[in-house]
């Protein structure tokens, strides 16, 4: 959802801003823009991807060492150059980039119009720019006063970087409910929506909290609270390495991240399992705390929700606690009735998804303990949750998640095994067997990547023309069908649906015709035959069947193309079935010639509702 960057230092700002923006393009790519301060502030913007902006300014000499930049995911106003950021106040005193949504912008327009402000764009951001300008001129008390008054006056979410014409050596920033980090090294101070944007320059960052502002000078950052008082903050060291945010020879981030999965799931396993024992102590989750929960809620969005659906089956079966999984955007508005002895698990790669964050706050408000399963250290959900279990996926750049998804699954297996053990729902032998099997998953994943990639690529090329696909399965196979189907539609733009296999006959089967692609996931032994019967039903209506199933299952009678995966414990199949489904989506998309890392209309981190 929009990416913002800024730099104030001793190097040419334009180079750093364009480079940082290229790392943030996954947040939005409807338009891009930069403002560079030399003597005056110069603004350049372009519709579409960052490449268009680069082309526009390639022959312009921009020497300034202070600047801000933006890559946009349109909310208010169509994607156009006019609506692109940075936005400028009426007389050019304030130049601003913004990530978020200003909810009361219409009321603010009326206020500003009374004071003769005019608007050239359709954006809430231009309104925000002029509100800052209005307070700046009205009270004449400088940037922090104008920003703080604005924060009190506006409703919504924002991370902003602002340049004031009268303060040539400073960038001002502020945030509420939208992500922002500030980095520093000997060459200057950096600001960005997300860590990968500045990782190449520094791994030392400050976290700025809600309703705080900061002044970025060349060699110093001064933080302020809403009263305008200075607050002290420490630099934190980020453990991600810069190469992890580069393509490193791969054609796309998505395939690079698919191939990183054996490694990142191993890292995640090793951080929680040592000497055949699960240790969650670092998260603050002690045995007594884990024992005390009577109910589990899982809340998430997108693919993280699909991890939640898998985790629901596993946690409920293993721990015998009631588990309810919900989509965060639904949860937050349904006035949920929560058991105070429950545990709310929020799953999120970014830790910034607006609906998931709001759901977390609702749980806390109702006195329910919260656990974040989070990838980005220091993100809002990680900071606000009572307990955090980090996934060690490293920076994920492709919009469609793969490696973060897989590490979230791993954490949910570990958590389920540990709670089941502590609650004595499984004996020591089963506990050790489950741990041992979890530890085999990195190698089994690698085995799938090594042995199946070529054949999946081949079959994928045959399916680039299709309009529809259906993914079916039962139980955990249904859960992973949801993810397979989302993966396909989000990157390839092929309509696809996931269906609980037993539910097909209640409507969806009427869509099956000659050569409709149906992907059957068949890993759960007790219900093999039932899913196979459902596949026979669609095959007899003309469907082309691909199955994903363990080596030991003979599906030759029903399957037109079989993807054999290694055997594992019934709970852990999602980790193995998802790999071929990711590869299938990736290669179908590549064969269609689409931009697989940046699918249209999507953003990786959804920080607005």
Count the Cβ atoms, other than its own, within 10 Å of residue 92: 12
- Residue from the set 90, 130, 356, 523 that interacts with ligand G6P by CB under 6 A: 356
Whole-number Å distance between alpha carbons of 18 and 24: 10
Question: Which one, 98 or 604, has the nearer CB to ligand G6P?
Answer: 604
As measured in angstroms, the least distance from the Cβ of 495 to ligand G6P is 18
582 binds ligand G6P (CB under 6 A): no
Question: Which one, 49 or 54, has the nearer CB to ligand G6P?
Answer: 49
Question: Which one, 375 or 568, has the nearer CB to ligand G6P?
Answer: 375
As measured in angstroms, the least distance from the Cβ of 492 to ligand G6P is 14
As measured in angstroms, the least distance from the Cβ of 186 to ligand G6P is 32
605 binds ligand G6P (CB under 6 A): yes
Question: Which one, 171 or 596, has the nearer CB to ligand G6P?
Answer: 596
As measured in angstroms, the least distance from the Cβ of 120 to ligand G6P is 31
188 binds ligand G6P (CB under 6 A): no
- For the packed helices 13-24 and 50-57, what is the interaxial angle rounded to 10 degrees? 160
363 is catalytic: no
Q: Is the torsion defined by CA of 165, 167, 169, 172 positive or negative?
A: negative
Would you give the binding string for ligand G6P spanning residues 521-560, x where CB under 6 A is met?
A: ----------------------------------------
| Stretch of 2-10, 115-123, 227-235, 346-354 lying at the interface with ligand G6P (CB under 6 A) | 346-354
140: closest CA among 159, 166, 116? 166
Query: Which of the residues 421 through 480 are near ligand G6P (CB under 6 A)?
Result: none
Q: Is the torsion defined by CA of 496, 500, 502, 505 positive or negative?
A: negative
Tell me the DSSP string of 37-70: ESSSEEEEEEESSHHHHHHHHTTS----SEEEEE
345: closest CA among 287, 435, 288, 415? 415
How many chain residues touch ligand G6P (CB under 6 A)?
Answer: 16
| Stretch of 109-117, 125-133, 180-188, 297-305 lying at the interface with ligand G6P (CB under 6 A) | 297-305
**DSSP state at residue 84:** P
- Residue from the set 4, 215, 304, 360 that interacts with ligand G6P by CB under 6 A: 304
Catalytic residue (one of 23, 47, 598, 604): 604
- Residue from the set 143, 179, 302, 394 that interacts with ligand G6P by CB under 6 A: 302
**DSSP state at residue 177:** B
As measured in angstroms, the least distance from the Cβ of 242 to ligand G6P is 21
310 is catalytic: no
Label residue 536 exposed, middle or buried (CB < 10 Å: 0-12, 13-18, 19+): middle
432: closest CA among 444, 445, 418? 418
Q: Could you tell me the strand order of the sheet in which 295-300 lies? A: 323-327, 295-300, 342-348, 369-374, 387-390
Whole-number Å distance between alpha carbons of 434 and 599: 37
- Residue from the set 75, 350, 547, 585 that interacts with ligand G6P by CB under 6 A: 350
574 binds ligand G6P (CB under 6 A): no
As measured in angstroms, the least distance from the Cβ of 163 to ligand G6P is 30
484 binds ligand G6P (CB under 6 A): no
Question: Which one, 123 or 303, has the nearer CB to ligand G6P?
Answer: 303
Angstrom CA distances, 249 to 26, 255, 361, 590, stand at 19, 11, 41, 16
Query: Which of the residues 363 through 402 are near ligand G6P (CB under 6 A)?
Result: 399-401
Question: Which one, 306 or 474, has the nearer CB to ligand G6P?
Answer: 306
> Can you list the alpha helix ranges (DSSP code H) found in 398-546?
403-422, 428-462, 476-492, 528-539
504 binds ligand G6P (CB under 6 A): no
Q: Could you tell me the strand order of the sheet in which 156-164 lies? A: 87-88, 94-102, 156-164, 171-176, 212-216, 221-224, 230-231
327 binds ligand G6P (CB under 6 A): no
Angstrom CA distances, 138 to 115, 133, 149, stand at 11, 8, 11
Whole-number Å distance between alpha carbons of 473 and 313: 14
Token pair of 171, please?
Answer: 């960038």
Whole-number Å distance between alpha carbons of 28 and 81: 14
Whole-number Å distance between alpha carbons of 413 and 278: 11
353 binds ligand G6P (CB under 6 A): yes
As measured in angstroms, the least distance from the Cβ of 300 to ligand G6P is 6
Question: Which one, 202 or 348, has the nearer CB to ligand G6P?
Answer: 348
| Stretch of 113-121, 347-355, 554-562, 586-594 lying at the interface with ligand G6P (CB under 6 A) | 347-355
Catalytic residue (one of 2, 301, 310, 363): 2
**SS3 (DSSP) at 344:** strand
Q: Given the rule CB under 6 A, which residues bind ligand G6P? A: 301-304, 348-350, 353, 356, 399-401, 602, 604-606
Q: Catalytic positions, please?
A: 2, 604
């Amino acid at each position: 959802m929009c990416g913002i960057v800024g730099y104030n230092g001793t190097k040419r700002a334009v180079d750093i801003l364009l480079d940082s923006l290229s790392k943030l393009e996954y947040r939005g790519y409807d338009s891009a823009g930069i403002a560079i301060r030399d003597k005056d502030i110069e603004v350049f913007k372009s519709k579409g991807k960052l490449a268009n902006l680069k082309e526009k300014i390639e022959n312009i000499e921009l020497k300034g060492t202070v600047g801000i930049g933006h890559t946009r995911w349109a909310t208010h106003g169509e994607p156009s150059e006019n609506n692109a950021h940075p936005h400028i106040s009426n007389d050019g005193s304030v130049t601003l980039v913004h990530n978020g949504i200003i909810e009361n912008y219409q009321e603010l327009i009326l206020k500003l119009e009374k004071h003769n402000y005019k608007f050239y764009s359709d954006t809430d951001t231009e309104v925000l720019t002029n509100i800052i300008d209005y307070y700046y001129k009205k009270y004449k008390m400088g940037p922090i006063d104008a920003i703080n008054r604005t924060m009190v006056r506006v409703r919504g979410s924002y991370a902003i970087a602002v340049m004031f014409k009268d303060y040539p050596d400073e960038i001002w920033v502020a945030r509420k409910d939208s992500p922002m980090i500030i980095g520093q090294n000997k060459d200057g101070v950096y600001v960005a929506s997300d860590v990968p944007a500045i990782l190449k320059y520094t791994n030392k960052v400050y976290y700025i909290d809600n309703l705080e502002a900061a002044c970025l000078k060349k060699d110093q950052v001064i933080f302020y609270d809403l009263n305008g008082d200075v607050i002290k903050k420490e630099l934190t060291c980020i453990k991600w390495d810069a190469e992890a945010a580069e393509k490193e020879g791969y054609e796309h981030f998505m395939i690079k991240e698919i191939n990183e999965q054996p490694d990142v799931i191993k890292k995640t396993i090793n951080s929680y399992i040592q000497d055949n024992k699960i240790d969650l102590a670092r998260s603050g989750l002690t045995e007594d705390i884990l024992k005390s929960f009577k109910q589990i809620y899982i809340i998430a969005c997108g693919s993280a929700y699909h991890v939640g659906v898998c985790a629901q089956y596993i946690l409920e079966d293993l721990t015998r606690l009631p588990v309810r999984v919900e989509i965060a955007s639904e949860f937050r508005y349904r006035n949920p009735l929560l058991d105070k002895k429950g545990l709310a698990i929020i799953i999120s790669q970014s830790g910034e998804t607006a609906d998931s964050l709001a759901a977390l706050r609702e749980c806390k408000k109702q006195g329910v303990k919260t656990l974040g399963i989070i990838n980005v250290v220091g993100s809002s959900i990680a900071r606000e949750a009572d307990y955090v279990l980090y996934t060690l996926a490293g920076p994920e750049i492709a919009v469609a998640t793969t490696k973060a998804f897989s590490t979230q699954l791993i954490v949910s297996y570990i958590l389920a095994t540990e709670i089941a053990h502590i609650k004595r729902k499984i004996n020591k032998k089963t506990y050790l067997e489950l741990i041992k099997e979890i530890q085999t998953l990195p190698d089994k994943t690698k085995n799938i990547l090594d042995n199946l990639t070529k054949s999946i690529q081949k079959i994928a090329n045959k399916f680039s023309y299709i309009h529809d696909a259906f993914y079916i399965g039962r139980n955990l196979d249904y859960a992973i069908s949801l993810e397979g189907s989302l993966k396909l539609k989000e990157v390839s733009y092929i309509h696809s649906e996931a269906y609980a296999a037993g539910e097909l006959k209640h409507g969806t089967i009427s869509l099956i015709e000659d050569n409709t692609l149906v992907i059957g996931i068949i890993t759960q032994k007790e219900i093999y035959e039932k899913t196979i019967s459902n596949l026979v039903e669609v095959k007899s209506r003309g469907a082309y069947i691909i199955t994903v199933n363990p080596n030991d299952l003979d599906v030759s009678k029903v399957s037109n193309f079989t993807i054999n995966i290694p055997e594992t414990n019934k709970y852990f199949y999602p980790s193995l079935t998802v790999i071929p489904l990711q590869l299938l989506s990736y290669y179908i998309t590549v064969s269609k010639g689409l931009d697989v890392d940046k699918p249209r209309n999507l953003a990786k981190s959804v920080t607005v509702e």
